[in-house]
Amino acid sequence: MAEPFYTILRVLHVGGGWVAFGVAPVALLALKGGRRHLLAGRCFIWGLATAITAGVLLSVIRPDPVIGLFLFGLLTLFFLGTGYLAPRVGRGSRASYRWDRGLTALGALASLGMIGVGLQDATLTAPVQGGVLFGGFGLGLAVAHAGWRGASDPSRWRVEHLTSLLAAYTVTWDFILSQYLSVRPRPHTP
């Protein structure tokens, strides 16, 4: 792997995440549909999309690719993309509806992959793996989202928008906490 490329991807991955998490509370607390909400929401989308894309690339350019992280990135991209597209689909955009369906299929496949990887890693001492939990969560949301018929059910776009974007936000926080926050007790040193 080329070192400058790897470094650039890491900066984009971390920087995009910081931007997304910095503006997410603004989008959540602002008047929905207002200028502040739209601007903060776009910054959140672009920041997290940058972080996800860089993270997916980082997971596969390694000498030993990390399939679990690759699938986790695709699942988060499904949540982010369908959340972003929901208002447009609700207004009747056919192109957005096609993208939405493609992302939903991607989310379902990534979820099944995560379940498969998680089941392979399951042991008697740790029978439930994170991949199984998040794969099941993603698959449940993908199935529920697939039931939405877009503009023919116009009032549901708000539910799809909120659930998908909150799912992206939540699973990304889980990733950060599980990767960088140690929950294991440290050995006591007198």
In a domain, 66, yes or no: yes
Does pLDDT of 183 surpass 60?
no
What's the pTM value of the predicted model, to 2 decimals?
0.87
DSSP track, 15-77: HHHHHHHHHHHHHHHSPTTSHHHHHHHHHHHHHHHHHHHHHHHHHHHSSS--HHHHHHHHHHH
- Provide the domain count of the chain: 1
Mean pLDDT of 179-183: 66
Domain of residue 24: give its range: 3-176
Mean pLDDT of 81-105: 94
In a domain, 185, yes or no: no
Does pLDDT of 178 surpass 80?
no
In a domain, 11, yes or no: yes
In a domain, 184, yes or no: no
Mean pLDDT of 88-114: 94
In a domain, 182, yes or no: no
In a domain, 8, yes or no: yes
In a domain, 83, yes or no: yes
| From 9-13, 53-57, 183-187, the region with the lowest mean pLDDT | 183-187
In a domain, 85, yes or no: yes
